[in-house]
Chain A
Amino acid sequence: MRALFLRDLVLALRAGGGFGLGLAFFLIVVVLVPFSVGPSSELLGRIAPGVLWLGALLACLLSLDRLLAVDWEDGALDLLATSPLPLEGVIAVKAAAHWVTTGLPLVLAAPVLGVLLNLAPQGYGVLVLSLALGTPALSMIGAFGAALTVGIKRGGLLMSLLVLPLYVPTLIFGAEAARRAAEGQDPATPLLFLAGITAGVLACMPFAAGAVLRVNLR
């Protein structure tokens, strides 16, 4: 299990294009927002939590098709399926590696980009906290989507259609927590809901994703 985790990390870090690409995409989205809605700092400050959350979500989505597709093509997934590690574990480990290489950098970069968007000073801590709580759920739900569409050629667009509606609850509570904190309200309720969703997803989703992957490997 640890070996697989390290392998996925190393592959993501060394094979070009995976690691950092999501981060760059996040940066680009955030830079494009002022161009599209205008540079008024008051408006930007108001929409900053939502934009940061949406950007993080899209950046997470962008790197999902690499999560399983590469291993599927070169047959590594078949080897993993015959290994003693259950497929549910494989999926969970892969989602964890995806989170470390995509979600974690996004969490760390979000406050820097918050400066660009004129986020209110009291909002930074909760923004980071909400992203840190929410992005593991995004990775795990995304792993389910990737497992669903792994057998389909050019399944990227289909995967977005399947995964994005599943992201709705996470996005609502995450962005709500960040917004409340930025406006000086108490963010505890949405944060708790967000943590609950993440815990539920982490507990149940590996089984759904494992079942789906087993069907696809048949």
Chain B
Amino acid sequence: MSLWEYANPVKFLGLSERVMPWLWGFAAACLGVGLIWGFFFTPDDFRQGSTVKIIYLHVPAAFMAIQAWFMMLVVSLIWIIRRHHVSALAAKAAAPVGVVMTLIALVTGAIWGQPMWGTWWAWDPRLTSFLILFLFYLGYIALWEAIEDPDTAADLTSILCLVGTVFAVLSRYAVNFWNQGLHQGASLSLDKEENVADVFYIPLLVCMAGFVLLFLALVFYRTGTEIRVRRTRALIAREGRGAAAQVEGA
């Protein structure tokens, strides 16, 4: 019994069918509880008023946008090293989810920034590096779409993911150098005194758990779809060849 067993598509589908109802259920529960708690049962902030509540969407989405890329990096490495098709398909499945998370973070940030900073957008390091991350996601997805042969596409995109990671990190620190920030510092960290106040902190954690579970459920679901698409293609190809052989025989 090892983790690598689930590199077998049949085993993987079996696992995902068993796990997915729980993931969906817990994701719905966490998001429901976290968002309703956050939106309706936490006090308004002393200075920010009710706009502070957008944190329950903004922070988890931003967190997941980065984690999704990191997950793509890990499964790309697994694909390059061990050539398990499921991992390549998982990377493909995670990218659109990641890009939506990035977009949610950018849009909710803009909606919050308008009343708070008085501007929808500022060329702040954090905002800029998220925009760059968004572009990396777009390029990655476009490359998947552009190449027909699935194995070639998996190889090229996984190398792009590795190179992109290096440059994304590089850009993250380069933009720090380039402009001073308007964005506040980290709102969550394990080792710092200055976190969000407890009233906001606990529902925020629930929301983040909900986003993580939702992401996992979506990735499982989309990976399963990709596996089935590939199987269907193989079946069609086989049927087509069989039909052609019959025609030749007659």
Residues of A near any B CB (own CB < 8 A): 144, 148-149, 151-152, 155, 158, 161-162, 164-166, 168-169, 172-173, 176, 190, 193, 197, 205, 208, 211-212, 215-216, 218
Contacts and interface: CB of A to CB of B under 8 A. Distances in A.
8 contacts: A144-B163, A162-B142, A165-B136, A168-B171, A173-B174, A197-B170, A205-B163, A208-B159
Given A161-B142, A162-B143, A208-B159, A151 B171 contact: no
Contacts of B167: 165-166, 168-169
Contacts of A151: 147, 152
A168 B132 contact: yes
For the complex of A and B, the 4 pairs showing the least CB-CB separation, nearest first, are: A169-B174, A215-B155, A165-B135, A162-B139
Contact of B143 (A158, A165, A197): A158
B19 interface: no
B138 interface: yes
Most buried by B among A155, A158, A166, A212: A166
B146 to A, nearest CB: 5
Interface residues of B, number: 24
Nearest to B145: A158
Interface string B127-151: 0000010011011001100110000
B151 to A, nearest CB: 9
A129 to B, nearest CB: 18
Contacts of A172: 171, 174-175, 177-178
A158 B132 CA distance: 16
B162 interface: yes
Contacts of B177: 172-173, 176, 190, 193
B143 A218 contact: no
A148 B162 CA distance: 13
B156 A215 contact: yes
